[in-house]
């Protein structure tokens, strides 16, 4: 009987080493002066920024759900990494955290160098946009666990905040204004329902024309990253909510006190064409508890700060806070 190797078992060590070499420049492009060393060590090192009175380290982790399936089946993999970063850093800023660094986990049945490079290229782009450093990651080739070129992604973001700013709930009072920041599209939630509707129920394909372009372009539009806007306007913000799975109705209450409700006017929400189309086939309540409906983030601000924010951003008013049991009242 001849001897067998790791490669015979489906794991190619040489391909893994080639991958690390291939992504070095993309990874380095995300580094800030706080990054210590490069890639290839056992752990990433990052020097804590100065200037904080009581610094608190924040962390967030997420994936991209079955949007990844659309990317894999279409073989368009260069933007899904942006989604991965966005889902994590957009959560961090909701606790007034400034993203510092990011790590990714890429698990696949068979490592395909070009595919993995495209994914990491997107992750690096997301890190540059969110001004955080990609300090490390893990690539796991697991034949038998994943089928051939299938893969999964997870992301981990670490940020820093002042302890005194963490309790945003106590900032929210009656009579404040709710400002919506538009989403770039579906973002990275609800894709099991999206795929069921478009591909299974309606029999569409990724090449079907929708809103003047292939449906794939709309489905894979990357999740918008709001970090820079947060940094520019955080002194005016009382609270902010990332509108992800659960939609406005489940995410906005997370920043409200027990005795304050959010009153949101549906006719003020600037829904995107993709959501207007889906509303023909999905109950409205289901839409609002599954999708962002065109609102990627909601900022809670005092009335005197509204005009300045509207003039400096693409945000718009969708409602206000009022006395009542914590929750969202859609009118």
Do 188 and 278 belong together in one domain?
Answer: yes
How far apart CA 23 and CA 29 sit, in angstroms, is 10
Q: Structure tokens of 188?
A: 């990275």
Of 302, 264, 269, nearest to 174 by C-alpha is: 302
| Residue 133 dihedral angles phi and psi, to the nearest 5° | -100, 135
Residue that is last in its domain, among 113, 132, 165: 165
Do 115 and 208 belong together in one domain?
Answer: no
Residue at 245 is within a domain:
yes
Q: Quick one: residue 295, left, alpha or beta (phi over 0 = left, psi -120 to 50 = alpha)?
A: beta
Q: What's the confidence (pLDDT) of residue 9?
A: 61
- Dihedral over Cα of 209, 190, 30, 154: its sign: negative
Q: What's the CATH code of the domain at 177? A: 3.90.650.10
Do 156 and 190 belong together in one domain?
Answer: no
Residue at 70 is within a domain:
yes
Do 188 and 324 belong together in one domain?
Answer: yes
Find the domain containing 249 and state its range: 169-330
Instruction: Give tens-digit pLDDT for 266-293.
Output: 999 999 999 999 999 999 999 999 999 9
Do 104 and 120 belong together in one domain?
Answer: yes
SS3 for the chain, per residue?
CCCCCCCCCCCCHHHHHHHHHHHHHHHHCCCCCCEECCCCCCCCEECCCCCCCCEEEEEEEECCCCHHHHHHHHCCCCCHHHHHHHHHHHHHHHHCCEEEEEEEEEEECCCCHHHHHHHHHHHHHHHHHHCCEEEEEEEEECECCECCCCEEEEEEEEEEEEHHHCCCHHHCCCCCEEEEEECCCCCCCCHHHHHHHHHHHCCCCCCCEECCEEHHHHHCCCCCCCHHHHHHHHHHEEEEEECCCCHHHHHHHHHCCCCEEEEECHHHCCCCHHHHHHCCCCCHHHHHCCCCCCEEEEEEECHHHHHHHHHHCCCEEEEEEEECCCEEEEC
Q: What's the confidence (pLDDT) of residue 183?
A: 98
* Strands across the sheet containing 151-162: 55-62, 151-162, 98-108, 133-141
Do 99 and 248 belong together in one domain?
Answer: no
Residue at 8 is within a domain:
no
Of 118, 106, 104, 115, nearest to 142 by C-alpha is: 106
How far apart CA 241 and CA 96 sit, in angstroms, is 11
Beta bridge partners of 178: 300, 319
pLDDT tens per residue across all 331 residues of the chain: 777 666 756 677 777 777 777 788 888 888 889 999 777 778 888 899 999 999 999 999 999 999 999 999 999 999 999 999 999 999 999 999 999 999 999 999 999 989 999 999 999 999 999 999 999 899 888 888 888 788 999 999 999 999 999 999 999 999 999 999 999 999 999 999 999 999 999 999 999 999 999 999 999 999 999 999 999 999 999 999 999 999 999 999 999 999 999 999 999 999 999 999 999 999 999 999 999 999 999 999 999 999 999 999 999 999 999 999 999 999 9
Do 306 and 294 belong together in one domain?
Answer: yes
Please give the model's pTM, rounded to 2 decimal places.
0.95
Q: What's the confidence (pLDDT) of residue 302?
A: 98
Q: What's the confidence (pLDDT) of residue 22?
A: 77
Do 90 and 174 belong together in one domain?
Answer: no
Residue at 7 is within a domain:
no
- From the CB of residue 181, how many other CB atoms can be counted at a distance below 10 Å? 21
Number of domains observed in the structure of the chain:
2
Do 159 and 178 belong together in one domain?
Answer: no
Do 242 and 103 belong together in one domain?
Answer: no
Residue at 229 is within a domain:
yes
Q: What's the confidence (pLDDT) of residue 2?
A: 77
Do 25 and 147 belong together in one domain?
Answer: yes
Do 185 and 120 belong together in one domain?
Answer: no
How far apart CA 177 and CA 73 sit, in angstroms, is 42
Q: What's the CATH code of the domain at 61? A: 3.30.1330.10
Q: 113-130 and 80-92 helices cross at what angle (nearest 10)?
A: 30
Of 101, 127, 84, nearest to 36 by C-alpha is: 101
Contact 196, 60 (CB under 8 A): no
């Amino acid at each position: 009987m001849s001897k067998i190797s790791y490669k015979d078992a489906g794991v190619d060590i040489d391909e893994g080493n080639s991958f690390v070499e291939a992504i070095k420049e993309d990874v380095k492009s995300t580094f800030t002066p706080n990054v210590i060393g490069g890639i290839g060590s056992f752990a990433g090192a990052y020097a804590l920024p100065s200037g904080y009175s009581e610094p608190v380290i924040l962390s967030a982790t997420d994936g991209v759900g079955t949007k990844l399936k659309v990317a894999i089946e279409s073989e368009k993999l260069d933007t899904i990494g942006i989604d991965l970063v966005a889902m994590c850093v957009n959560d961090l800023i909701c606790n007034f955290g400034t993203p510092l660094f990011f790590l990714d986990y890429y698990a696949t049945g068979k490592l395909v160098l070009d595919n993995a490079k495209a994914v990491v290229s997107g992750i690096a782009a997301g890190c540059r946009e969110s001004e955080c450093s990609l300090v490390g990651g893990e690539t796991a080739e697991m034949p038998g666990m994943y089928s051939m070129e299938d893969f999964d992604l997870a992301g981990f973001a670490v940020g820093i905040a002042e302890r005194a700013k963490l309790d945003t709930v106590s900032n929210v009072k009656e009579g404040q204004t709710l400002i919506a920041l538009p989403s770039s599209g579906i973002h990275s939630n609800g894709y099991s329902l999206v795929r069921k509707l478009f591909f299974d129920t309606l029999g569409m394909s990724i090449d079907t024309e929708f809103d003047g372009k292939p449906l794939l372009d709309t489905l894979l539009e990357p999740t918008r990253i709001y970090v820079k806007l947060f940094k520019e306007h955080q002194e005016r913000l009382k609270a902010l909510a990332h509108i992800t799975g659960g939609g406005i109705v489940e995410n906005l209450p997370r920043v409200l006190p027990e005795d304050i409700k959010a009153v949101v006017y549906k006719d003020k929400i600037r829904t995107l064409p993709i959501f207007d189309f889906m509303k023909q086939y999905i109950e409205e309540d289901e839409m609002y508890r599954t999708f962002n409906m065109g609102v990627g983030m909601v900022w809670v601000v005092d009335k005197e700060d509204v005009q300045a924010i509207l003039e400096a951003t693409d945000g718009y008013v969708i409602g206000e806070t009022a006395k009542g049991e914590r929750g969202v009242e859609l009118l």
